[in-house]
């Protein structure tokens, strides 16, 4: 297939593109605005692949998107471009409304115009795959409840509300105009090339620099963690084999409290980069106050507004219908992730800079 990926320089988008180019014969056009969270270094290993192209453009720029569609002639669009950081959405929601809602609308309209001029066979085979989040469902209060594809939407933050709105737009374009869409809602992703403001890379890098490891509230918020390369495999399954109009929840079967995640990272760092040989900027050899374990850097901070307590995905539908399930456990995926950051600190410095 010829696949147009929006937001392909981001964390999940770049993992998807690496998978498409390394493990399939598909052709890829990466359309990305290159905001603070987009980084072409994440694609350096595939940038010279003859099946890969890059276009710097905003999904809200209808003329640029329409030209790209006309020139590339995609068989599928995988839409990942989004503002995605909850804390940023609380501080400045306008960008989230503009990109996630208005931008998705503009992309849908450009796609619909392109789709309508395709011949009948290509129009029938075309797919618009919208990649979303489990945060649109709000939070769970019991210990046994799981998000299913039929869970009512109850978003809590400006970010999740904007993603919920984009989900509704995509489904409306299918219902009203017949656009062949697929929607996936995923749990928290982690893995290589994750932007350093997110929890797992933030904790790794703060720890290595001897900085406090901030944990919201009491740290008992529960999230389901999905290794990003498992997610990329799931996305390809859905766009290739999913049923038009269907939603598929993608989860890692790895529910962990935020505090346990931070403590697990500290334990891995104690093993792989012990403090004795890795005194960070905030520590000095011979300082009596210097910690002996990274866990001593954990600091509890005021909870953020509207913080959801628990997310957990029921991913049985995608396993039953498409045969996908995650390959990584939380333990194996987290070890790979910590090792990657230890081996790629230069990348982290450049991204933060």
pLDDT score, position 289: 60
- Active-site residue, selected from the candidate residues 134, 167, 224, 308: 134
User: What does the alpha-carbon distance between residue 188 and residue 52 come to, in Å, rounded to a whole number?
Assistant: 27
Q: Is 135 a catalytic residue?
A: yes
The residue annotated as part of the active site, out of 58, 83, 135, 255, is 135
pLDDT-wise least confident of 2-11, 193-202, 227-236, 319-328: 193-202
159 within domain boundaries: yes
Q: Which domain holds residue 108?
A: 2-194+226-253+310-329
302 assigned to some structural domain: no
Active-site hit among 159, 193, 227, 311: 159
How many domains are there within the chain? 1
Catalytic-residue membership of 285: no
Which residue shows structure tokens 């450049």?
350
Q: Among residues 160, 57, 169, 153, which one has the least CA distance to residue 104?
A: 169
Tens digit of pLDDT for each residue in 124-149? 999 999 999 999 999 887 778 899 99
| Residue 1, both tokens | 């297939």
Measured between alpha carbons, how far is 12 from 232 in angstroms, rounded to an integer?
A: 7
> What is the share, in percent, of the chain residues with pLDDT greater than 90?
83
Does residue 349 fall inside a structural domain? no
Helix, strand, or coil here: 113?
helix
Parallel, antiparallel or unpaired: strands 27-32 and 247-250: unpaired
Cα dihedral 231/5/171/88 (nearest 10): 70
Residue 37: inside a domain, yes or no? yes
Residue 108's Cβ-count burial label (10 Å; 0-12, 13-18, 19+) is buried
Location of structure tokens 């990329």 = 232
Is 339 among the domain residues? Answer: no
User: Chain-centre distance of CA 299, in angstroms?
Assistant: 26
**134 catalytic residue (yes or no):** yes
**Does some domain include residue 187?**
yes
DSSP helix/strand/coil, 170: helix
Tell me if 298 is assigned to some domain.
Answer: no
Out of 55-59, 253-257, 259-263, pick the least confident: 253-257
190: domain CATH number? 3.40.50.720
d(Cα 150, Cα 194) in Å, to the nearest integer? 30
Residue 189, classed as helix, strand or coil, is strand
Residue 303: pLDDT band (50, 70, 90) is confident
Under a CB-based contact definition with an 8 Å cutoff, are residues 207 and 269 in contact?
A: yes
φ, ψ for residue 120, nearest 5 deg: -60, -40
Q: pLDDT tens digits, residue range 74-95?
A: 999 999 999 988 889 999 999 9
DSSP label at residue 243: P
């Amino acid at each position: 297939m010829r696949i147009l990926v929006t937001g392909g320089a981001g964390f999940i988008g770049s993992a998807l593109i690496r998978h498409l180019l390394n493990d399939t014969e598909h052709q890829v056009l990466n359309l990305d605005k290159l905001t603070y969270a987009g980084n072409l270094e994440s694609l350096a290993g595939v940038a010279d692949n003859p099946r890969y192209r890059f276009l710097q453009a905003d999904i809200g720029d209808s003329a640029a998107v329409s030209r790209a569609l006309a020139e590339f002639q995609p068989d599928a669009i995988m839409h990942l471009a989004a503002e995605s950081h909850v804390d940023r959405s609380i501080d400045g929601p306008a960008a989230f409304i503009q990109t996630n809602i208005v931008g998705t609308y503009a992309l849908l309209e450009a796609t619909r115009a392109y789709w309508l001029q395709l011949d009948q066979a290509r129009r029938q085979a075309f797919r618009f795959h919208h990649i979303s989040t489990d945060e649109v469902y709000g939070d769970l209060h019991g210990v046994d409840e799981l998000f299913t594809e039929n869970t009512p939407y109850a978003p809590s933050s400006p970010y999740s509300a904007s993603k919920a709105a984009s989900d509704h737009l995509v489904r409306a374009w299918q219902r009203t105009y017949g656009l062949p869409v697929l929607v996936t809602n995923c749990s928290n992703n982690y893995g290589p090339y994750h932007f350093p403001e997110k929890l797992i890379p933030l904790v790794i890098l703060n720890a290595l620099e001897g900085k406090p490891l901030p944990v919201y509230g009491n740290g008992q918020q529960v999230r389901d963690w999905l290794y990003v390369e498992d997610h990329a495999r799931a996305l390809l399954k859905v766009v290739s084999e999913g049923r038009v109009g269907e939603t598929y929840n993608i989860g890692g079967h790895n529910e962990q409290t935020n505090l346990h995640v931070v403590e697990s990272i500290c334990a891995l760092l104690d093993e792989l980069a012990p403090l004795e040989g890795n005194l960070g900027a905030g520590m000095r050899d011979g300082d009596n106050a210097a910690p002996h374990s990274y866990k001593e850097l954990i600091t509890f901070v005021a909870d953020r507004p509207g913080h959801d307590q628990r997310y957990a995905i029921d991913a049985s539908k995608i396993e039953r219908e498409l045969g996908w399930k995650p390959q990584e456990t939380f333990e194996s995926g987290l070890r790979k992730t910590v090792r990657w950051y230890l081996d790629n600190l230069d990348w982290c410095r450049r991204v933060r800079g």
